[in-house]
């Protein structure tokens, strides 16, 4: 099995990664853009075909998960409650790191030239360093040019990119990149506020601490304009948590 993509210049070694790879089936590997836009039924068929290539190693994977859990937590896999825990553990990791497909529909803009803001979109992602959740809310603003998008699509974009191991900074950038490419707006702003469990339940243990990240593009990045100030005033004006 060889992989034909990297993450920040490092060759991918995750057989469950949703990005394209050389699977030995010629040109059938889907690109990331195709996966994003793929209808749900087709996406599930694609994933089922891809995952079937690794079924031979499922037993080994299950044994490895059991060994890790028994060795680090003392899990009793002979008990009623622990017998299927390794399988649930594997299923959970796959669920939280498999992006959901997006059908990002856009519509012709009929004259809207003011800022549109979608606030407090909840998300859950996994920290790339400790494989524990960071949970928060996303705030998205954009100034349309020729196209607008249905409001639910912004939540779908956030949820799509949240489903993987990563750092919050990268998640913020990827959401902004996607919206900038697919909407081609006059400006787009993305802010994420999240609580990282790697800081709150382990290590320094500071519950309630939030991390703020932002990506400002187009008119939102121009300091002499008021778009950035207006957006930040809007999302900071209420108690958003």
pLDDT in tens, the chain (241 residues): 334 555 555 555 554 454 544 333 334 556 656 655 666 667 666 666 655 555 548 888 999 999 999 999 999 999 999 999 999 999 999 999 999 888 899 999 998 989 999 999 999 999 999 999 999 999 999 999 999 999 999 999 999 999 999 999 999 999 999 999 999 999 999 999 999 999 999 999 999 999 999 999 999 998 767 888 989 898 888 555 5
Q: Which of 84, 118, 112 is nearest to 192 (CA)?
A: 118
Q: Are 161 and 174 in contact (CB under 8 A)?
A: yes
Phi, psi angle pair for 52, to nearest 5°: -65, -25
Domain regions of the chain by residue span: 6-96, 106-236
List all residues 6 or more positions away from 53 whose beta carbon is below 8 Å from its beta carbon: 23
**What's the token pair of residue 82?**
């622990």
Q: Does the model's pTM come out above 0.85?
A: no
3-state secondary structure of 9: coil
Q: Token match 């609580």: residue?
A: 195
Q: CATH 2.170.16.10: does it fit domain 106-236?
A: no
What's the Cα-to-Cα distance from 35 to each of 32, 117, 192, rounded to whole Å?
A: 5, 26, 24
């Amino acid at each position: 099995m060889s992989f034909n993509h990297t993450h920040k210049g490092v060759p991918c070694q995750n057989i469950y990664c949703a990005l394209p790879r050389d699977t030995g089936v010629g040109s059938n590997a889907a690109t990331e853009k195709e996966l994003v836009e793929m209808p749900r039924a087709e996406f599930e068929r694609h994933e089922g075909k891809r995952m079937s290539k690794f079924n031979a190693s499922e037993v080994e994977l299950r044994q490895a998960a059991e060994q890790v859990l028994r060795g680090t937590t003392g899990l009793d896999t002979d008990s009623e409650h622990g017998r299927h825990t390794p399988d649930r553990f594997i299923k959970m990791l796959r669920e939280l790191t498999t992006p959901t497909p997006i059908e990002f529909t856009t519509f012709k803009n009929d004259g809207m030239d003011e800022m549109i803001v979608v606030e407090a979109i909840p998300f859950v992602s996994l920290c790339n360093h400790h494989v524990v959740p960071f949970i928060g809310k996303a705030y998205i603003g954009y100034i349309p040019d020729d196209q607008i998008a249905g409001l639910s699509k912004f939540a779908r974009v956030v949820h799509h990119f949240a489903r993987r191991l990563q750092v919050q900074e990268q998640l913020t950038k990827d959401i902004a990149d996607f919206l900038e490419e697919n909407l081609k707006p006059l400006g787009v702003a993305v802010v994420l506020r999240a609580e990282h469990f790697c800081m709150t339940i382990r290590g320094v243990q500071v519950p309630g601490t939030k991390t703020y990240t932002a990506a400002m593009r187009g008119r939102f990045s121009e300091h002499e304009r008021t778009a950035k100030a207006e957006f930040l005033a809007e999302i900071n004006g209420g108690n958003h948590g």
